[in-house]
Structure formats: structure tokens, C-alpha cells
Amino acid sequence: MNALSLPTWIIHISSVLEWVIAIWLIFSYAKLSENPAWKGLAFAMLPALVSALCACTWHFFDNSKSLGWLVDVQAAMTLVGNCTLAIAAYAIWRSRSILTEE
């Protein structure tokens, strides 16, 4: 656990917690707005959360070479997360333009 300094750990952990809170808030907003596109955004955020958890896990175990595969999973989840977030943003944009046409 010495791979990172205490301030860096605080940033890593608070970032993960902020991401979880953001997912929960967006999911709650989806229920209130009755717009399922927002629920899609909440689910689209999950791969990025997995990516962050991979990074924290790898650092927790002092960047162990035996856990090097976590770096690959993190990179893959970042790619997947960026794609799903782009798709979710497009879906929200489409849902807004459909609502304004009515």
C-alpha cells in the first residue's frame, strides 16, 4: 500500500466515491424526469467506475507485477466507458430533441 502517498490515496478514493454518488444522482434524476435516456447514462458510467476500481486495487497491492493484468482491464474499461458515455450522451441529446418536437 506504499505505492501511493496518503494525499494521492485520498484523491483516488474520493474520486471513486464521487463517481458512485454521480451514478446514483443521475439514476435518481432518470426516475424523476421519466426519461430513460438518463438511466442509460448511469449504466454507461459503470465501465469507468470499474476502471477506477482496477487502478485502486492495483495500487493497493503495491503495483504488483502479478496483478499487471489489472492495468489491461483498466485500459479496456476506460475505452469501453468512453464509448458507452458517448452513446449515452447522444441518446440524451436525441431524447431532448424528440421532446422539443412534440
Q: What is the pLDDT of residues 63-96, one digit of tens each?
A: 999 999 999 999 999 999 999 999 999 999 999 8
Question: What percentage of the chain carries pLDDT values higher than 70?
Answer: 94
Q: Of 33, 36, 47, nearest to 86 (Cα)?
A: 47
Going from N- to C-terminal start, the domains of the chain cover 6-101
Predicted TM-score (pTM) of the model is 0.87
**9: which residues sit within 8 A by CB, 6+ positions away?**
59
List the Cα angle 73/68/12 in 5-degree steps.
70
State how far the Cα of 62 lies from the Cα of 25, in Å rounded to an integer.
33
DSSP state string for 15-58: HHHHHHHHHHHHHHHHHHHT-HHHHHHHHHTHHHHHHHHHHHHH
